[in-house]
Chain A
Amino acid sequence: MKTFKIGGVHPQDNKSFSAHQPIQECPLPKQAIIPLVQHIGAPTQAVVEVGAKVKVGELLAKAGGFVSANICSPVSGTVTKIGDWKDAWGAPGQAIFIDVEGDDWLPEIDRTPDLKQQCTLEPKAIIDKIAAAGIVGLGGACFPTHVKLLPPPGKKADVLIVNGVECEPYLTCDHQLMLEHGEEIIIGIGILKKALGVERAIIGIENNKKDAIEHMSKLAQSQLGIEVLPLKLKYPQGGEKQLIDACIGRQVPSGALPIEVGAVVDNVATIFAVYEAVQKNKPLISRVITVTGKNVAKPGNYLVRFGTPIEEVIALAGGVPADTGKIIGGGPMMGRAMDHIEEMPANKRLSGLLFLPQAESIRPEEDNCIRCGKCVQACPMGLEPYLLQRLSELEMWEECEKHDIMDCIDCGCCVYTCPAHRRLLDGIRPGKAKVGGILRERAAAKAAEKK
């Protein structure tokens, strides 16, 4: 069975808590909070004013540049405030606050559950619809999807890789989506193939989801050019570089994007959103999130409209468990621990809520590096984490750059493996930020010189 070649670790998948829980719809909130940044790229600009009455699907904020994404209203009601807001990690930003009234949708949105198979639009029209719907990558990175579909001149894709891997432990939303909405995903794949002009699509699914592999294989049989590839379980197989290596054996070079090797990668939830946008005129206004943890009363997969305070979703799952130490937005390997849950809405970036008991939330004490080299063996990018951490600590930025610190994908394999519990990423992340800044300054200086 195929998998990526370099590094990787095998955390316990802990998916049994929420696996196979049917997707449950969360009721509408009384107030919706919609942050103006829910993606990688330039912040959006609000196009509504305080006091405006909006319908579900209406444009609230438009993309602030090429690499940006629209935000459409997930609720209907009155805009009460557009202003300062802090997320669950204390980061400041802007958000639109809406008092929810009823559930009025824009008339052009098709709310029927019938499957629409045919798509007669031209590629450009498809991409425009995806952009208008504000679709971003729902695997966690939230990169604007329409940008991925517009390769720079000279670069062409020859394969679409569909990410059904969901390598983060605990999370099961993608798995459940494949089981319940596999047909829509297959149609969405066909639409994306058309938009990209590729003949071949590969759906990568890890072999801890055998029923999803079987289900999607059956559905893909009727389609030409879509194959399902079962993959050997290994983290971080869902990382796009690792997934491309696993599926087609091509490794994206350092500093380049997947299009460099002719591949475009999209998550299954993103593709489901593409189906809804292109076939049903429904913009991206909701997503499935997994609420899970050992002590959660009703762990499961919940369909949530953006803007819904996560307190309400957590209440559906039985409330915050008594012994909770950490609440993580996302999965345990790359998710971020939240300081508080008040005034925090579900949004495009939130794929899961994980509640870790107190005992599992304290990091063991750090020892001296014992030079075992396990971090080097674990790193999927072939880096030397022990060295990068030390160089960052010593602020030796040139050396950091020479040792390819910019290739680090933040997956956490090194920290996961380290027997001495060294805070490897605590050192590498600021190093990456600093070296990234130096590289940008260098590029800007070069560009200025050319003028």
Chain B
Amino acid sequence: MKNFIVAPAPHAHSGDSVRKNMLWVILALLPAYVVSVIEFGWGALITAAISVCACVLTEWCISRFLLKEQKQTIGDLSAVLTGLLLAFNLPSSLDWWIVLIGAIVAIGVGKMSFGGLGQNPFNPALVGRVFLLISFPAQMTTWPLAKGFETSYLDAETGATPLYFLKHIVKSGDSSVIDQLPALRDAFLGVMGGSLGEICALALIAGGLLLICLRVITWHIPVSIIATVALFAAVTGWVGALPEGMETGQYVAYELLSGGLMLGAFFMATDYVTSPMTAWGKIIFGIGIGFIMMVIRTWGAYPEGMSFAILIMNACVPLLNKFRPQRFGEKKK
């Protein structure tokens, strides 16, 4: 009697894997990275290289030497993605050893200390970034001006980002700095200052839409973040909080195109591990992020609120997972 392989159904699989999804996200980030290299030069290349290599190496070392695991996980490319996203959130001219520390903290504390991929409650790249922001506030708020590929890596000319000016405009009603803002078209295309990966809204939106079409991510989080931010900004304008010279529509556009909004909405908040599992959970997650971010941007001490907003909402995910999907046959709620 010949015996055959017996295993429970189903006997077919979509072919999807963790690695495939990570690879698509990395590919979707490449257009933004190319713009970044064009705008920031060597700094973009070096920072990203250090971040990615340090993240992968940290995961491998912890897994092999500390945890003495049999199976290595770096093949699933999640460390590579974390490295890339961390770099995207940093000033491109950041000292190399600070980038290194950020990467080790992101992977070591933000991911491996919880048990590796799937177990961490907070977005690892953001854990690294916020750690650096608190530990090295001066270096982390020194933004190189985008001078094209000639931008010096080590002693770049620095200046305030559009978000800094926006906050100044709204908080103190000072309209004199409005002409310091880049033209909206430049903001869309990425000809402006900011962190390594956040400047080119066009590339980020394109990459994000690609991921949605490929069903790597769903529309719920990006759309709810963007809609909430737009609404908040619009209301700010309608209640007359904007000074002369700044129209409501203009302000909404600036809030959407500046800072880490597009990067956060499509690539950071949508991180599988740290975002909700259900549709309504995701929508409320996105609304929360958009709201907290705008509160920080408008009234908080920092010009950028994306990182904090996402981390705060990450903490709420177990609660948000209770918003269960509609069951088949259930009457509409």
Query: Which positions in A face B, CB cutoff 8 Å?
Result: 6, 9, 11-12, 89, 169, 241, 245, 251-254, 256, 320, 324-328, 332-342, 354, 356, 360-365, 367-374, 376-377, 379-384, 386-387, 403-404, 407, 410, 412, 415-421, 423, 425-426, 429
Contact A328 B11 (CB under 8 A): yes
Contact B11 A332 (CB under 8 A): yes
> Known: A340-B2, A384-B277. Is A367-B18 also a contact (CB below 8 A)?
yes
Expressed in whole angstroms, the minimum distance between the Cβ of B7 and any Cβ of chain A is: 6
Closest partner residue, chain B, to A11 (CB atom): B12
Contact A370 B330 (CB under 8 A): no
Q: How far is the CA of A386 from the CA of B325 in the complex (A)?
A: 13
Q: Is B116 an interface residue (CB 8 A)?
A: yes
> Known: A241-B329, A367-B76. Is A337-B6 also a contact (CB below 8 A)?
yes
> Known: A368-B117, A370-B118. Is A381-B328 also a contact (CB below 8 A)?
yes
Contact A326 B5 (CB under 8 A): yes
Residues of B within 8 A of A418 (CB): 16
Q: How far is the CA of A233 from the CA of B2 in the complex (A)?
A: 37
Count contacts between A and B, CB distance < 8 Å.
164
Closest partner residue, chain B, to A328 (CB atom): B11
From the candidates B1, B9, B14, B277, name the one contacting A386 in the complex (CB within 8 A): B277
Residues of A within 8 A of B13 (CB): 364, 415-416, 421
Can you list the 9 inter-chain pairs with the closest CB atoms, starting with the nearest?
A412-B10, A368-B118, A373-B277, A332-B12, A372-B272, A253-B329, A382-B327, A419-B16, A251-B329
Q: How far is the CA of A415 from the CA of B11 in the complex (A)?
A: 9
Chain B interface, number of residues (Cβ within 8 angstroms)? 41
Contact A370 B7 (CB under 8 A): no
Q: Is B135 an interface residue (CB 8 A)?
A: no
Closest partner residue, chain B, to A426 (CB atom): B8
**What 0/1 readout, one digit per residue, does chain B (253-277) give for beta carbons within 8 Å of chain A?**
0000000000000000000111111
Residues of B within 8 A of A386 (CB): 277
Most chain B beta-carbon neighbours within 10 Å: one of A241, A256, A384: A384
Most chain B beta-carbon neighbours within 10 Å: one of A241, A325, A416: A416
Expressed in whole angstroms, the minimum distance between the Cβ of B330 and any Cβ of chain A is: 7
From the candidates B12, B275, B277, name the one contacting A376 in the complex (CB within 8 A): B277
Q: How far is the CA of A356 from the CA of B13 in the complex (A)?
A: 13
A-B contact pairs, 19 of them (CB 8 A): A89-B6, A169-B12, A254-B327, A324-B4, A327-B4, A333-B9, A338-B6, A362-B5, A367-B76, A367-B118, A371-B118, A373-B272, A376-B278, A382-B325, A382-B328, A383-B325, A387-B277, A418-B16, A419-B21
Contact B1 A342 (CB under 8 A): yes
Closest partner residue, chain A, to B327 (CB atom): A382
Residues of A within 8 A of B10 (CB): 332-334, 412, 415-416, 425
User: Interface SS of chain A: helix, strand, loop or mixed?
Assistant: loop
Residues of A within 8 A of B64 (CB): none
Contact B328 A356 (CB under 8 A): no
From the candidates B16, B117, B328, name the one contacting A380 in the complex (CB within 8 A): B328
Residues of B within 8 A of A387 (CB): 277
> Known: A11-B12, A241-B329. Is A363-B4 also a contact (CB below 8 A)?
no
**What 0/1 readout, one digit per residue, does chain B (103-145) give for beta carbons within 8 Å of chain A?**
0000000000001111100000000000000000000000000
Residues of B within 8 A of A364 (CB): 13, 17
Residues of A within 8 A of B218 (CB): 373, 377
Residues of B within 8 A of A420 (CB): 17-18, 118
Residues of A within 8 A of B14 (CB): 9, 11, 416-417
Closest partner residue, chain A, to B78 (CB atom): A370
Q: How far is the CA of A335 from the CA of B71 in the complex (A)?
A: 32
Closest partner residue, chain B, to A411 (CB atom): B10
Contact B1 A419 (CB under 8 A): no
Residues of B within 8 A of A320 (CB): 2
Contact A372 B21 (CB under 8 A): yes
> Known: A373-B278, A420-B18. Is A254-B330 also a contact (CB below 8 A)?
yes
Contact A337 B328 (CB under 8 A): no
Q: How far is the CA of A336 from the CA of B8 in the complex (A)?
A: 7
Residues of B within 8 A of A6 (CB): 325-326, 328
> Known: A9-B14, A404-B327. Is A368-B5 also a contact (CB below 8 A)?
no
From the candidates A341, A361, A376, name the one contacting B5 in the complex (CB within 8 A): A361
Expressed in whole angstroms, the minimum distance between the Cβ of A404 and any Cβ of chain B is: 6
Residues of B within 8 A of A337 (CB): 4-9, 11
Expressed in whole angstroms, the minimum distance between the Cβ of B67 and any Cβ of chain A is: 13
